[in-house]
Amino acid sequence: MEQILIIEDDISLNQGLCRALKSENRQIISCVNINMAKDQISCSIPNLIILDINLPDGNGLDFLKEIRKYDKYIPVILLTANDTDIDIVNGLEQGADDYITKPFSLSILRARVNTQLRRNSLNIQDNTINIDGFSFNFEKMIFRINNTPVELSKTEQKLLRILVENRGNTMKRSTLIDYIWTDNAEYVDENALSVTIKRLRDKLNAYNYIHTVYGIGYIWVKK
């Protein structure tokens, strides 16, 4: 189910947006300030954000910068009464995908929302590996468990990639070490692999998926 997060302090406009965008396969989350939005995003990453620039507890553009630190690709549509060229350019340069000035037509907003959702869905699905509740996009470095983002180091990403792309096959420790540590190091402590495996299991809660094959290596088990 698609999830749209609306961050708008004008209650009547917020409610109008919720009604206009609601559909059978879409969940609308309504927030009236940045703190509420932060709490919501910490629980679940939406498929699209509609963000007012002028909010009672901060500036929407500053919040947009925070969003982009941990998710570079989620579509964000800005709403604002500021319609000068410099305001529009500033919003887009901060990472917004679209920019709508008040007042606006709800039908036009709805069309733009649908366009952004289609684009994002195509871009992510093309390169995403979905396994049960896991979602891994290695090109865009987006990793989620049940739509909740997970931060992985570059080493953890390399290890995860070789395991999931070869799921069902046991990967030898020597193969994993050669693949992950490709900086021509003369010696790599094998304990480094064990430590990385443990961190990856813990971060992904993947104890039932990443198994140790004693004396050989590791495997991402097919369910």
- DSSP assignment string, 30-84: EESSHHHHHHHHHH---SEEEEESEETTEEHHHHHHHHHHH-SSS-EEEEES--S
Helix or strand (DSSP H, E) at 68: helix 60-70
> In sequence order, which residues have a C-beta less than 8 Å from that of residue 32 and are 6 or more positions away?
7, 8, 9, 11, 14, 56
State the Rg of the chain over Cα: 21
Q: Residue 216 has what pLDDT? A: 93
Q: Residue 92 has what pLDDT? A: 86
Of the listed ranges 13-22, 26-35, 66-75, 214-223, the one predicted with least confidence: 66-75
Residues 20, 109: one domain?
yes
Higher pLDDT, 92 or 83: 92
Q: Residue 86 has what pLDDT? A: 75
Both structure tokens of 149: 């983002």
Question: Which residue range is the domain that position 165 belongs to?
Answer: 128-220
Helix (H, G, I), strand (E, B) or coil at 128: coil
When pLDDT is averaged across residues 216-220 and rounded to a whole number, the result is 94
Of the listed ranges 67-76, 102-111, 148-157, 171-180, the one predicted with least confidence: 67-76
- CA 49 from centre of chain: 12
Residues 105, 175: one domain?
no
Q: Is 0.85 topped by the overall pTM?
A: no
Structural domain tally of the chain?
Answer: 2
Q: How many other β-carbons are positioned within 10 Å of the β-carbon of residue 216?
A: 12
Residues 205, 150: one domain?
yes
Q: Residue 126 has what pLDDT? A: 60
When pLDDT is averaged across residues 45-74 and rounded to a whole number, the result is 88
> In sequence order, which residues have a C-beta less than 8 Å from that of residue 88 and are 6 or more positions away?
99, 101
pLDDT of 184 above 60: no
Rounded Cα gap, residues 7 and 145, in angstroms: 24
Residues 99, 174: one domain?
no
Of the listed ranges 6-20, 89-103, 118-132, the one predicted with least confidence: 118-132
8 pLDDT band, cuts 50/70/90, is very high
Higher pLDDT, 221 or 25: 221
pLDDT, tens only, 122-177: 665 567 888 999 999 887 788 999 888 899 998 999 999 999 988 898 999 988 88
When pLDDT is averaged across residues 98-117 and rounded to a whole number, the result is 90
**What does the mean pLDDT of the chain come to?**
87
Residue 152 sits at the vertex; the CA angle it makes with 148 and 157, to the nearest 5 degrees, is 115
**CATH number of the domain that 149 lies in?**
1.10.10.10
Residues 191, 116: one domain?
no
Both structure tokens of 95: 């990472």
Residues 163, 54: one domain?
no
Rounded Cα gap, residues 127 and 158, in angstroms: 16
Residues 75, 7: one domain?
yes
pLDDT of 182 above 70: no
Both structure tokens of 170: 């046991």
